[in-house]
Structure 1
């Protein structure tokens, strides 16, 4: 069950923009994208590009690690839903990430 603070990533951006008293035009300018594109991201019609995460974190005054949690959890949740993945896939994924980290593999 979703909590009141759990949003799709586009809505997360919108809430952060509003907390920082930024218009869509202002945020779009700071990110180097068109306002209409930002509007489509906020409404869930387009995806936010990973290349812009660092800039978004700076503009919205959010820790980059926390922003990555929001971004990737949205990406993973959508893929799990689209592909109708079975229960337990996230636990297996966590174990594989731990293994990769322990082996210091570069992916």
Structure 2
């Protein structure tokens, strides 16, 4: 799925890559808590609580790739099933946020 946002890609990427903002822009995320000291970077672990298909899910993601302004990849380090989430940002007219969610 792709979202076209009318903002500069670096601004969109900075906002979306900040774990504190996830509950504000992602409707299924209830909370995020860093297990490791900020700022989020490769190796950081984040505890997520989400609601999906009527169920409450608690899981820990680990950031495995971070290219500021370009790409963020997180994988479950602990949770009910394996997940990987990749966010990529690139210019498209004004700004584009592309979010892909796929099982690992």
TM-score range, shorter chain: under 0.3
Task: Compare the two structures and name the one with the higher helix fraction.
Answer: 1
Q: Normalization by structure 2: what TM-score?
A: 0.25
Higher RCO (C-alpha 8 Å, min separation 6): 2
- Structure (1 or 2) with the greater strand fraction: 2
TM-score normalised according to structure 1 size:
0.25
